[in-house]
Amino acid sequence: MSFYRCFKKNLHVYFQRARKIIYQSHVSHYHHFMMYRCLLVFAVLVAPTALAYSSSDSLVYSFSFSDTTKYDQGLTVDVDLKTEPGKIILASGATKNLALGSRMRAIYAGTYPKDNQNKPDTTRMNADKLHDGNYFTIVNFPANDNVNSVIKINLQVVRRVNKITVVTLGNLSNSYNLRPQAFSYYGGLDSNRMTKIFQEFDNIDSARHTAFITDPQPIQYINFVLDKQHPTQSTVISEFEIFGEGYVTEGYYVSKVDSTGTLPANFATFYVDAEIPNGTQVAFQFRSGYTKMFDSLQWSDWSAPVVFNSTAEAQRGGQIITAEPRKYFQYRLRLFSSGLETPKVQSVKMVYQHNLVADSTSASIAPDTVEVLSPVTLNYSIVTKMSASSLGIDTIKILTPSPSVVRAVRVNGVAVAYNFIPSPDAMIIAFPTTIASTSTIDVTFSTKMIAGGEFPAQIISKASPWNPQIVDPKKTAGGNAWKVSTTGIPAFPLVDVRVDPNPFTPNNDGRNDATIIDFSVSNLSVSKPLKIHIFDLSGRRIRTIVETMTGATPYFGDPRTGGKGFLWDGRDDEGKRVRPGVYILQVSLDVDNGGQVVTKSVVVAY
């Protein structure tokens, strides 16, 4: 199917849907405007995934790594530009201490070390101190009954380990009686299936013992097993140093600051030409600035990393998210390997335009502090500067941390016509007339914040809908001026649990065939288990909706149309439609204080 036919077909489908969801704020428009809006909105929604889009004014920046001089030597670390000319690979890991990125745990076969109150002394049992570089933070195995005690080591990467050093207290020669007198190392790719890789029958080294592993095999897990102790002295271990064949786990390549020539640019997309074997990754980040030398006040932060797990993903590329327009830029590549291979990056290509939606922008939001989970009205202000060459603004997209609803839009203080396209995580605002002159655009909207968050925005022109221009936030002492903080703490982490429609009629007639479960999770700093189950009135669980880990997150909206809520279609876990009647919905969250359970009744009717 040709691109034109495919685009036309999808546009027709989207238009039919858009007619149902687009509502007008306060001014009537004609059919041709609705058709045009649909076309532009379709492009806005599709363009980020259709990264091959461009236009006749697009420019391409392309860089291959045969030139080994154009990188920032202060920020580039643990990559190799020489071994394979024209490629970036990870540096050799032969001299990297693998213990530094590992996790360790002590398993006692006998008594624990005791503190002054005769309780287990956890400060001398914490094996994660055995890779902190400090020879005086220790794990202590009391004498007599701790033979067969184990220190379990998870390297978190796969390597051919060929050398392991164990160090006793202080790395001092007078710690002779504190040494492990005999011990074994076991290794494997599975922590439950390990083989012996080294055994020391009589350790005479007082401060540190180094084991050289012959015929090293790929392993991730190591067990140190204590085979013999001094009869009256504790065994004390202060550090492990582990080395192996292969590459370092991660490395960074950072380009020198470069420019788009004499004019600022609206950055569009990037593509990475790389070999990415299984178990490896390449991530791309970008930042832009006004000055040739990096200045935190004149430059954006690094963008969120776009991670590629395969060669095909990297070739498809991604959208450049950075403050625009800017003249100077810098990119960063993170290479990662969890195994024995390395990714190999050959080139980077970026697409940009000198034709700008607006010559400059700045955004702020007020108020910048609100009460958590309270209904609030906020004002988002975008100040734009335009010139005769500016493309102009036809659509604004504001990303939102919580579902939000536009209430009014003003341009230079005057209310204007607009179309608001609802979305669980964005406000899309389309205008019937292009905003083509210097203006202040104020968007008034309502929301409920479950936690602090940012509201980044994009402006889009119908002349170049494939390349949104990222709005530049004002800088404040607290960071970007489009950030909103919350105050107060909800009494419970599960907030506003709702079921709608209720009753619902799952009879496949296209109306109320499923019910949506909405709620917010708040006041969590780390992820906790979330479960949603359906029970019948006898207490028998008939359906598991979800069992997952969650942090502070709003779960609102129909998941069939992009929402984050949860859906029950009136069927049990075997896929059978349930009988009409009353059922019990249970939403539970396991937290440190014992958790919270919210129960609602749900009515199924036919």
Residues 296-320 have pLDDT tens digits of 888 999 999 999 999 999 999 999 9
Higher pLDDT pick, 31 / 586:
586
> Are residue 120 and residue 221 in the same domain, yes or no?
yes
First CA to last CA distance, the chain: 42
**543: domain CATH number?**
2.60.40.4070
> How high does pLDDT run on average in the chain?
87
| Residue 459 bridge partners (DSSP) | 396, 469
Q: Is the pLDDT of residue 262 over 60?
A: yes
Q: Are residues 166 and 229 in the same domain?
A: yes
**What's the pTM value of the predicted model, to 2 decimals?**
0.70
Contacts of 313 (CB under 8 A, 6+ apart): 276
Residue with tokens 């982490």: 493
Residue 239 within any structural domain of the chain: yes
60 assigned to some structural domain: no
Task: Identify the pLDDT of residue 225.
Answer: 98
Query: Are residues 384 and 324 part of one domain?
Result: no
Name the band, by pLDDT with cuts 50, 70 and 90, for residue 47.
very low
* pLDDT for residue 51: 47
Q: What percent of the chain has pLDDT over 70?
A: 89
Total number of domains in the chain: 4
Whether residues 237 and 313 share a domain: the answer is no
Q: Among 12-16, 234-238, 434-438, 576-580, which is the least confidently predicted range?
A: 12-16
At 358, is the secondary structure helix, strand, or coil? coil
* Mean pLDDT within 406-424: 93
Read off the CATH number of the domain in which 313 is found. Answer: 2.60.120
Which span out of 38-47, 109-118, 443-452, 518-527 was modeled with the highest average pLDDT?
Answer: 109-118
Q: Which residues pair with 382 in a beta bridge?
A: 363, 441
Q: Which residues pair with 406 in a beta bridge?
A: 445
314-338 pLDDT, tens digit per residue, is: 999 999 999 999 999 999 999 999 8
Residue 453 has pLDDT above 60, yes or no: yes
Does residue 365 share a domain with residue 448? yes
Torsion sign (Cα): 212, 217, 218, 221 = negative
Same domain for 227 and 116: yes
pLDDT at 32: 40
Distances (CA, A) of 297 to 141, 162, 237, 286, 519: 53, 47, 47, 16, 39
CATH number of the CATH domain containing 115: 2.60.120.260
CA distance 180 to 194: 21
H or E stretch including 45? helix 31-46
Say if residues 291 and 298 touch (Cβ distance below 8 Å).
Answer: yes
Q: Is the pLDDT of residue 55 over 80?
A: no
Please report whether residue 12 resides in a domain.
yes
Average pLDDT, integer, range 170-191: 93
Distance of CA 23 to the CA centre of its chain: 33
Whether residues 33 and 105 share a domain: the answer is: no
Give a yes or no: residue 59 inside a domain.
Answer: no
**Residue 319 is part of which domain span?**
70-92+249-353
**pLDDT value at 46 more than 70:** no
The CATH number given to whatever domain includes residue 408 is 2.60.40.1510
pLDDT digits (tens, 9 = 90+) for 67-113: 778 899 999 999 999 999 999 999 998 899 999 989 999 999 999 99
Same domain (yes/no): 347, 361: no
Query: Is residue 58 domain-resident?
Result: no
The reported pLDDT for the residue numbered 311 is 97
Lowest mean pLDDT among 123-132, 402-411, 485-494, 497-506: 485-494
**Whole-number Å distance between alpha carbons of 103 and 191:** 13
Q: How far is CA 101 from the centre of its chain?
A: 20
For residue 41, which of 560, 445, 421 has the smallest C-alpha distance?
421
Across the range 209-223, mean pLDDT stands at: 95
Q: Which of 322, 353, 384 is the last residue of a domain?
A: 353
**Cα distance between residue 396 and residue 363, in whole Å:** 12
Q: Which of 420, 469, 468 is nearest to 445 (CA)?
A: 420
122 close to 210: Cβ distance less than 8 angstroms: no
Tokens of 117: 């109150």
In a domain, 301, yes or no: yes
Residue at 65 is within a domain: no
User: Of the candidates 211, 244, 277, which is a domain's last residue?
Assistant: 244
Helix (H) or strand (E) holding 109: none
Give the β-pairing of 483-487 and 453-454. Answer: antiparallel
- Residue 145 and residue 183 share a domain: yes
Contact, 465 vs 399, CB < 8 A? no
**Span of 42-56, 66-80, 252-266, 444-458 with lowest mean pLDDT:** 42-56
Mean pLDDT over 197-210 rounds to 92
Q: Are residues 462 and 375 in the same domain?
A: yes
pLDDT for res 490: 67
Total residue count of the chain as it appears in this document: 606
Using CA atoms, how far apart are residues 114 and 124, in angstroms rounded to an integer?
9
Q: Are residues 33 and 13 in the same domain?
A: yes
Q: Can you give the pLDDT at residue 489?
A: 66
**Residue 308 sits in the same domain as residue 216:** no
Domain termination residue (choose one: 294, 327, 353) = 353
Coil vs helix vs strand at 281: strand
Tokens of 175: 């710690």
pLDDT tens digits for range 339-392:
899 999 999 999 999 999 999 999 999 999 988 778 899 999 999 999 999 999
Cβ-based burial of 33 (10 A; exposed 0-12, middle 13-18, buried ≥19): middle
534-581: pLDDT as tens digits = 999 888 999 999 999 998 888 888 888 888 899 999 999 999 999 999
Tokens (6 digits) for 350: 């970026």
Give domain status of residue 565, yes or no: yes
Q: What is the mean pLDDT of residues 229-250?
A: 94
- Token couple for 438: 């210097």
The mean pLDDT of 177-197, rounded to a whole number, is 95
Task: Give ∠ CA 335-339-340 in degrees, rounded to 5.
Answer: 95
Q: Supply the pLDDT for residue 594.
A: 65
For residue 121, give the DSSP letter. Answer: -
**Closest by alpha carbon to 78, among 257, 253, 279?**
253
pLDDT of the residue at 31: 41
